Amino acid sequence: MIEICFLGTGGAVATEERDNASFLLKHDERLILIDCPGSVIQKIKKFKFDPREVHSILVTHIHPDHIYGLASFVHSLMLDDCFIQLFGSEETVNFCRSYLDLFHLREPKIKTRIDCVSLTPGKGFMLGDFLECNSFRVPHDSSSLAYHFFFKKEKKELIYSGDTSLSPHLFQEAEGIDYLIHDCSAPSRFFKKYPSLRRMHSNALELGQLSQKNSIKCLIPFHFFGELEFSLSEIEEEIRQSFRGTVIVPEDFDRITL
């Protein structure tokens, strides 16, 4: 069974309802954490999972709203004999090592060990016997990677864009895919008002258009800006103006089965 547990669905600015974006991917009783902002330990426990069962962390990029909770996560597991692989671009992995070293979290007294694995975009790697993953670059930050998951037994595929502007390469990769979790920071009216947003993020209207053009089966918009005033129904309406597939607009602590 493949499950997604949303720990946070917001952008860099948290709101009362939404924290910074991250989620758990549960597959074959294995837990994979995607990005690590804030207190993910507490959120994992709210889902009634044991944080010690997280065996991999995938980091999309090194902006604070995606990574600042890593030190606290490892510190919380300092007395537990866990082995966790952390994956990211070379820039991300180097940053994470330095960040953990600032807090002395890679010293022998810390029982949980983090093995930082630098990924080559385009080269696949295994996250379990039946789960392959590939990474590719997206236009957001020099450290940014998107992740493409291949669930071998279920014969399903999922892409998570991380933060990104709308990228033709991503939609080539995602053509006809079962599930796409994609940056959808705000409705299009804000991208007209603040054109510089286009360089780093995506709006709901054009995300819907490109998802329709590229035959995405299920679109999950994600990473909603907290500093702008809009409702999630506005996001959904803009997407549905052109997109005919399934749309799931997640809220924090939603749990979905793929």
Calpha distance 25→2 (Å, rounded): 7
**Of 163 and 206, which has the nearer Cβ to Zn ion?**
163
**Of 65 and 252, which has the nearer Cβ to Zn ion?**
65
Tokens of 35: 């990005």
**63 in contact with Zn ion (CB under 5 A):** yes
From the list 31-39, 58-66, 91-99, 148-156, the region that binds Zn ion by CB under 5 A is: 58-66
How many residues interact with Zn ion (rule CB under 5 A)? Answer: 3
**Of 67 and 218, which has the nearer Cβ to Zn ion?**
67
Alpha helical stretches, state H, the chain: 40-46, 64-67, 70-76, 90-102, 168-174, 188-193, 204-213, 232-240
Contact 250, 9 (CB under 8 A): yes
Indicate which single residue of 10, 23, 27, 65 sits in contact with Zn ion (rule: CB under 5 A): 65
Write the binding mask 108 to 147 for Zn ion: x where contact by CB under 5 A, - elsewhere: ----------------------------------------
**Interacting positions 70-89 with Zn ion (CB under 5 A):** none
**Of 157 and 163, which has the nearer Cβ to Zn ion?**
163
**Of 86 and 131, which has the nearer Cβ to Zn ion?**
86
**Of 110 and 184, which has the nearer Cβ to Zn ion?**
184
Look at residues 205, 240, 24 and name the one whose alpha carbon lies nearest to residue 248: 240
Shortest reach from residue 117's CB to Zn ion, in Å: 21
**Of 151 and 225, which has the nearer Cβ to Zn ion?**
225
From the list 43-51, 55-63, 105-113, 130-138, the region that binds Zn ion by CB under 5 A is: 55-63
From the list 22-30, 131-139, 146-154, 162-170, the region that binds Zn ion by CB under 5 A is: 162-170
Indicate which single residue of 19, 35, 163, 238 sits in contact with Zn ion (rule: CB under 5 A): 163
How many alpha carbons lie under 13 Å from residue 45 in its C-beta half-sphere? Answer: 6
Contact 24, 253 (CB under 8 A): no
**252 in contact with Zn ion (CB under 5 A):** no
Shortest reach from residue 64's CB to Zn ion, in Å: 9
**CA 192: distance to chain centroid?**
26
User: Longest C-alpha distance within the chain, in Å?
Assistant: 55
Calpha distance 247→258 (Å, rounded): 13
From the list 49-57, 60-68, 111-119, 125-133, the region that binds Zn ion by CB under 5 A is: 60-68
Contact 232, 220 (CB under 8 A): no
How many alpha carbons lie under 13 Å from residue 40 in its C-beta half-sphere? Answer: 33
H or E segment and range at residue 51: none
Binding site for Zn ion (CB under 5 A): 63, 65, 163
